[in-house]
Chains A and B, each alone.
Chain A
Amino acid sequence: MKNNNNKVPKLAHLFFRWYCKKEMYEELHGDLEEFFYERVKDKGPFKARLLYIWDVIRCCQSYAVRKPKTQNTTIMMLNNYFKTSTRSLLKNPLTSFINIFGLAVAIGICLTVYAFMDFEYKIDQFHANKGQVYLTTFYTNRDGSIERYGMSPAPLGELLSTDFPQIQKVCRVEESNVVVKYEDEVFHETLTYVDPSFLEMFTFPLGKGVNKSLNDLNSIILSHDMAIKYFGDDNVLGKDLEVIFSDSNKKVFKVAGVAEPFPKPHDLGFNFLIHFDNLDYARPTNDLSNWDQFITATFIQVNDPNQIAGLEEGMEKYKLLQNEKNSDWAIESFSLEPFVTLYANSAEIRKAIVYNGSAEGRIALPIIAIFMLGLACFNYINISIVSAAKRLKEIGVRKVIGASKNKIAFQFLFENIFVTLFALVLGLLLAVFMFLPWFIGISERSMELNFFNPELWIFLSIVLVFTGVVSGLYPAFYISKFNVIRIFRGSVHFGKKNPLTKLFLGFQLIMASILMTGAVMLTQNSNFQAKRTWGYDPNNVLYVELPDSSAFNRLEAQLIQNTNVVSVAGAIHHLGNNHTTTVIHQPDRKYEVDRLSVGPKYFETMGLQLKAGRFFKDHSENDHAAIVVNELFVENLNLSQPIGHVFEIDSMRYEVVGVVENFHLYNFYYEVLPTIFSLAETTDYKFMAIEVKSGAQPITYATLKKDWAVLFPEIPFQGDFQTRLWDNFYKDLQTQKTFSTTIATIAILLASLGLYGLVMLNVSGRVREFSIRKVFGAETKNIIKSVTNQYVLLTVISMIIGAPISYVLNKALIGMMFPETMQADYFGAFIAVFIIVSVLLTVVSTQIFRVVKSNPVDGLKME
């Protein structure tokens, strides 16, 4: 009996026979068989069969593979289209450049926006249990409006874990500012107190150490950045770090873990993690069973997300406990926010542990990207229609030799996708090397285009097909429907007066007008915001944070010897840095206001302006029951005689003794709110404000730092010029100007390119006409009129429609961004229209110049 194992594998042999050239089959397979039989003897049948299969695969190369007898006609056709497209691109390099460059810029912007959105939607999504973790939030009525808060009553976490067996894990989180000391180095840091379940619920991987070390009250876990900052590397397990909670509370912790660097798209993070119970040590007066106390956050983890509705209902019972104890923060209801959506929704949750500062960007940027793609597509459609006039004969010949309407349409669509492919590659390069680095610079987000991510390739394919089809569909069908006889008779005149071409150009001009008006108005608004006053004088003020109760007196004693210091004041809160909110009780309503507790000299030192009454008196015991309010407070409560008016706050009665001009607690993105000042005890001061002589700020600041180092060698200096508190705000204003101007410039560039292409094609198609006009004595102004006629009317109509739309839209946008804006007028829109018209005139005049300077004889000869 013949052994089948000693024969070459049948399937592999059949495959070889299928692909191998007939004339080579005998020779090649003969040798393969000889190798096979030799290997059967040397290595055994199994290995020989495997090696035979490998040989068959290896031989499948161009020299051995047979060519198909007849080529697929579709491939031939596509090959032909490819050739025609390449020739057409090379024949009209300028229009090709306009099309490709326009589309590339738009695609580059789309890719940049894609990178931004991809980054945004990945923020905090790397945690393995994200689908089971929820943040406890509550709704409360703040002076008539229901607000959602992300902080949590302190006792809530413990009660949840005991009352609800369906809750798998609970994690309380509290953050505070401390000083961290290692050897001689001291830094101000943010410390996070967490329950040991934190690292099980949030899967930040630890590079060194184990999650369980959080169970130890004396252990501390560092982020990768902190390990590098303090120790230079992450090999730090077992090292000691001293945490200074306050002047009297210090504790040494042993480093028990170091986290891996956090993934770039993250918002929830930490610098230092310690066990939550350390709060008892850090804040001995804190009572975590008191519903009056709030902590940063309480997270829960459940097995089954379907239990959430039941849990929320069950949490209703805590309302009574909370509201009995703290009626000022009466809770309407509790609610659980999925961690998956927490970042996206955090703009709607006040005091949430994570904060989404780019909620507007998520809406505005995709709209801008679609706008730009629209502009580029309109350009393409217009230029395709007009430039097809040059290819009439080609279309005619194709139709004569049997091409159907659909075939012609398909050919043009194919060409368009081919052009879009070019643009896609160029757009990708523009995005990677130009737009993305620029956008990362202004947005300070480390986003990237990950080419190993299949989602990116799916997005690119969608952009390719969408752009290719949207911009090519209309021209393809428009061009393909022409009658072949009319083409050869020369009676087809299309493109030049196509109403849709004008409509698209009109759209482009309106879009450019909206974006340009936006840029002008945002610039005007930025200048307006930059010139606004803060309601006090920050220019000559320095401030410094104080570490303990005796610090103010010690520093003040040092500073009053400095002749550059005009006045010194202490405060618990400081303008631009922090404040608290409190509830004012009136017989008929409760009213929430911002509150700052300050020393008596604070008003003069900060330059707050008194409108009525007086400031606090120095060493006045009575003034501990006095408040100074701002004008808005008086206005909102309709106080005709504010001085002497008495309010109840925290069960104590306070009398209004003074009214100050409205002032800004924070930057101009935030509206001025009703605010009160109360008198603070010297021992409670957390800040010192120092007014210095004009021009002496730098030298006093340097002296202050030196004095500080002598007085408080263990505590790092934390203070600055008051004006520097707004550096980020002014930087943001500058970014807005840069961003809007860049986008508007690109929009105008695209519209100008489109118009240039149209005018150029129009002029090229009318060379004979202009030559005849010139021969018959037409003057330059007649030629100009003839070229520009249709565009002038179109531009005027577009601007008449575009300018008011631009004005209304941009006014609404700026109104959304800033509570107080400049007195918007049409000036911004006029400037925008002027810029657009100037650019368009420049573009058109280059072509007019060409026509005017051309020799009519040449023009007549050419045609």
Chain B
Amino acid sequence: MRNIWTIAEKEFKSIFHNAIAYVFGVVMFLSLGIYFMILLQYGMQTQTYVPDMRVLLDWVLFPIFFFGVPVLTMRSISDENRTGTLELILTAPVRDVELIIGKWLGIFLFFLCSLALTLLYPILLNFLVEPGIDFSALSAVYIGLILAVGAMTAVGVLISALFKNPIASLLASLGAILLMWIIASPASNTTGFLSDLLKYLSLPEHYYGSFYYGSVSLSSVIFFISLTVFALFLGARVIESRRWK
């Protein structure tokens, strides 16, 4: 168990060792800041419009994580594989599961910290708007975001375990997340078991279906958590299968 934390700590620190973390941070806060300003100005002009935090989170944060998750997860196992350090880890008394979970946890914690920093905006907004914003609805949004990011990160780490080349991992993760995004579109106007299945697998259905509107729906929570667990479990299997090659 300690190994998970050791690996997570190292992964978290290594994100800051190169430019990726800083570029991610700059892009995120720059775009949030600009958009926030636009929101406020629009609100001031029209007088009837109350700036809504969710618009900020939706239009800015989701695309950022859409790209950010693959970018940060692409090197997590691909790099270790490429440089040969994976051989060292796999010949240390570390279980394959511990490796995958540790990698995931380190990256997830980074995203958690960035999300925590975005709380700056709701807090600011609270003082600017009368009578203040609805924090309980907002917390549902944040819970949804955290769960979604956790699941996407797990998928990213799984894909990173599949490829030796980090760019391949990047593209495959982008593709996978895109797939999860649009998977329900053929089912938008249909009914029946298959369309229900597709709707259940789709990310926006879960996010917008519940969290966005302030409710924390159990089925969506379970969806994200099981996706995370499933992806990590598969990732451990992939690493195990590498040994047999």
**Chains A and B are bound partners:** no
Task: Please list the residues of chain B having a beta carbon within 8 angstroms of any beta carbon in chain A.
Answer: none
